[in-house]
Amino acid sequence: MEASTADLIRAQLRRLRVAAGLSQEEFGKLVHYSASMVSAVETGTRPYERPLLARADEVLRSGGLLVSLLRIAEREGQPSWFLPWLDAERLARQLRIFQPTLIPALLQTEGYARAVIRCDDLLSDEEVEKRVAARLDRQAILTQPDPPQFIAVIDEAMLHRRDERFRALMVHQIEHLIACAERPNVSIHVIPLSVGLHVGLSGPFSLARGVDGGWVAIMENQLTALPTDGEADLATLLARWETVRNEALSRQQSIELLKEVVKSWS
């Protein structure tokens, strides 16, 4: 979702609350959020969630305006369940991504992104291109002024998935990883094949830390991705992050490994 859509949703939430004559504290009690959380959502320092907007529509008698804006965003190329994470990602000061099977979305080249998205043969060509554009748009956060600290851990096995049709694509993608890893705000760490089994093979996850210091996480599966800011879930994922990060090579060792893999593809 583009920033303008997120800002519009926040602006409408605040407008509706003020028009109803409710303070942030009074509104928070009605939707079961603290006043500080309402403030953080309205000012953009915390991501909003669909349940909050649905409840706000009821309390503020908006006729479903806020949820309708979410649906518009969904038609623009992102499923509604993914929007809270996109908001958290956009606002993050730190991003920690673990991906054992694919190059992380924020590091994908256009060609790689298109190839991955096309694996879903239920998508039309138009939908594929819409999703590719949305994915590339997300990557702007890594090159914006004052970008977040971005740390990615990937598994070496994904770099050796051989298919002659994609040789040039993979060479370009890995060269792009090397270029990204040389940016001061980006670190890429590779878990080498020699590690074998590790806890990260249970699945990918991402962690975002906002300006207020709070963490939000997302766990992906075949059908959906589950955002969470629950204390127990975050504690588990932060612990698993430390485990997979400790299994990985250092930043410079990872860059050297990536260079060796490019040679093997070439």
Q: Identify the three-state secondary structure at position 98.
A: strand
Residue 161 and residue 193 in contact, taking contact as beta carbons nearer than 8 Å:
no
45, with CB counted inside 10 A (0-12, 13-18, 19+), is middle
pLDDT over threshold 60, residue 6: yes
Structure-model confidence comparison of residues 163 and 213, the more confident one = 213
Q: CA-CA distance, 201 to 203, in Å (whole number)?
A: 5
* Model pLDDT, residue 80: 59
pLDDT tens digits for 124-164? 888 888 888 888 888 989 998 899 999 999 999 988 876 77
What's 80-265's CATH class?
alpha beta
pLDDT over threshold 50, residue 2: no
* Model pLDDT, residue 264: 85
pLDDT tens digits for 88-106? 888 899 999 999 999 999 9
In the chain, % of residues over pLDDT 70: 92
Q: CA-CA distance, 191 to 105, in Å (whole number)?
A: 18
What is the average pLDDT across 223-246? 86
Q: CA-CA distance, 4 to 244, in Å (whole number)?
A: 35
The fold of the 5-75 domain, in CATH, is 434 Repressor (Amino-terminal Domain) (1.10.260)
pLDDT over threshold 50, residue 122: yes
Domain ranges of the chain: 5-75, 80-265
Lowest mean per-residue pLDDT among 68-72, 74-78, 150-154: 74-78
CA nearest to 87, candidates 109, 70, 102: 70
